[in-house]
Structure 1
Amino acid sequence: MVREQYTTTTQGTNVQRPETKYLFNVGIYGWRKRCLYLFVLLLIILLVVNLALTIWILKVMWFSANGMGYLQVHSEGVRLEGESEFLCPLYVKEVHSRKDESLHLHSEHNVTLNARNADGNVTGRLNVGPNLVEFDGQHFQISSMNLDRKPLFTVNNTEAAVGTDRLRITGKEGALCEHSVETPLIEGFKGLNKAKELKLESPTRALRMNAPRGIQIKAQPGTIEGSSHLDIKLHSSEGTLMFDTETLRLPKLPQGTSGESDTDEELYEVCVCLDGRLYLALADEVSNCLAFSQVCQ
């Protein structure tokens, strides 16, 4: 832009125009102009590279309108296909697998599931380790998948309850109970070929069976055997002891003092002492139990 001085003249006059004394150049010239162009060029290059990297990331991560790759976001939640690795804690409300596949949780150390209340405190924890599955909580319950949601196994601070109709123990050594067991029925395992024998054993202590209305011991295809190092006591407070069988054998009963019998055959009768002990006495027309009762002494 050039600043000039002008003088108004009238027609017919010849006035000499004064010479310009000062010139001012407005703009960017020289090395400043070259630096500006270089900066604009670098900015364009960075813009193009940034746009290319953004398009490459979108393509590699499989971004779409529904989500990113195997991770899809729906109105009912987030759906994840395939295998995924979480490096930080995952907070979710529910985790479901596909209808035709199972859900697998893998970890190099252990898998821990925590349940928190509104204050953020842990109220329940399930820790699956390499050698131990540990649960911390006030109540643990396993329910069936039926409509009634029947509890199958329940554990709390006071007791553990098995809610199934039948508890099956298949171990060779059976079940070890350190305290009392309450159950309406104890039955041996019935296999395909033959039934296995049922043993109730207390190697170092006594074995007691109590019932308010009676105890029934039945072995239809086999025999019932009871052995003890000391005494076997059958006691009924208000009822009677009944042995319902075709043959009742007591092979090791002691025999009382020999007496005379009018019969040629040696027949014996079973006698009972006042303390409940049994012994044999020769049978006669008159009972010999009172006469030969020195066994009870």
Structure 2
Amino acid sequence: MVREQYTTTTPGTNLQRPETEYVYNVGIYGWRKRCLYLFVLLLIILLVVNLALTIWILKVMWFSPTGMGYLEVQSEGLRLEGESEFLYPLYAREVHSRQDSSLLLQSTHNVTLNARNSDGNVTGRLSVGPDMVQFDGQEFQINSMDGNPLFTVDENEVIVGPDKLRVTGPEGALCEHSIETPLIKGIKDAKGDKELRLESPTRSLSMDAPRGIHIKAQNGAFKAVSLLDIKLHSSNGVLRLDAETLRLSKLPAGTTGESGESQGLYEVCVCQDGKLYLTEAAKDSNCVKYSRDCQ
């Protein structure tokens, strides 16, 4: 762009007119101008495409003033409607379902719930896998609806809270160590009472109580079978066998008393070590007289 500069003179002066000066201003012309227009056009196209993609994403993801799709943001937290899939860990203080539906947690491998302390360390873990349910923690407790503990497990003991523990398996309950309980009772089904059996196939069976042991069979017989000895011991009291008929079979016969005095009657004698034996009855007891049978 050319600009001519002129100098005016006063009439009557002899000043020479200066030569015409040419001033050139630098601008964008030619291919630079076309590239600039092309760049601006590309920016406008990109802006329109980004705006169209943003509107499309908002429409597809169901964005709304209250949330996104089935996800609704409330003052209490987040609310999800329908099924949701999480690809990474979910951190939440509380997760619960609607009042009219159940909460379902499903995974192709396992479902793991972790509890962490303020330092981020795991203090409790519940893992539900395809083969087993595993809990890692200091104590595991199951409570009833009113808050009463039903089942508690820690490193030292297992506590069953209800008044009745019912074992319905055909093999019963297997206990490798001792059991402490106030009552053991057989179950009753539609066919009647079932047999209650306390059995130790390879070891001994011992029942101890600070005050006493009461064994009662209302509709059947009580039977105790042992490979070796059966010991009934009372440290401070008596041993009472209360029954209509008391039968002790295979008792050893003691020394025969005077002939003709027994009349086919026998008496049961007890040694100091608790051994029982039979001896012929007489007018007087033969237990003391023939005490050598206890040797």
What band does the TM-score fall into relative to the shorter chain? 0.7 to 0.9
Mapped partners of 1:211, 1:261: distance in 2: 47
The Cα offsets for residues 98-151 of structure 1, whole Å up to 9 and x where unpaired, read as 2232222223333222211112222222223332322222222111111xx111
Offset of 1:94 from its aligned partner? 1.1
What is aligned with 1:159? 157
What is aligned with 1:99? 99
What is aligned with 2:14? none
SS at match of 2:293: helix
Offset of 1:274 from its aligned partner? 2.3
Q: How does 1:101-180 map to 2 (within 5 A)?
A: 101-146=101-146, 149-180=147-178
Q: Match for 1:246 among 244, 250, 253?
A: 244
Mapped partners of 1:42, 1:5: distance in 2: 42
What is aligned with 1:218? 216
The alignment-based identity, stated in percent, is 72
Structure 2 residue identity aligned to 1:175: A
The Cα offsets for residues 203-262 of structure 1, whole Å up to 9 and x where unpaired, read as 222111111110000010011000111111111111111112111111221222344345
Mapped partners of 2:262, 2:2: distance in 1: 166
CA contact (8 A) 1:153 1:161 kept: yes
What is aligned with 1:272? 270
CA contact (8 A) 2:2 2:23 kept: yes
CA contact (8 A) 1:261 1:282 kept: no
> What is the TM-score with the length of structure 1 in the denominator?
0.86
Q: Match for 1:232 among 230, 233, 244?
A: 230
Q: Match for 1:288 among 281, 286, 289?
A: 286
Bigger CA drift: 252-261 or 227-236?
Answer: 252-261
Offset of 1:293 from its aligned partner? 4.1
What is aligned with 2:56? 56
Give me the CA root mean square deviation: 2.7
Q: How many residues align?
A: 287
What is aligned with 2:83? 83
The Cα offsets for residues 21-80 of structure 1, whole Å up to 9 and x where unpaired, read as 858688655434433333333222222211111111111111111111111111101112
- The unaligned stretches of length 5 or more in structure 2 are 11-19
- The alpha-carbon distance between structure 1 residues 26 and 274, as it changes in their structure 2 partners (threshold 3 A), is closer
Offset of 1:4 from its aligned partner? 5.2
Mapped partners of 2:97, 2:117: distance in 1: 25
CA contact (8 A) 1:188 1:197 kept: yes
Structure 1 residue identity aligned to 2:56: W
Bigger CA drift: 125-134 or 184-193?
Answer: 125-134
Offset of 1:3 from its aligned partner? 3.9
What is aligned with 2:206? 208
CA contact (8 A) 1:71 1:79 kept: yes
Mapped partners of 2:5, 2:51: distance in 1: 54
Mapped partners of 1:21, 1:280: distance in 2: 157
What is aligned with 1:196? 194
CA contact (8 A) 2:262 2:280 kept: no
Mapped partners of 1:167, 1:187: distance in 2: 10
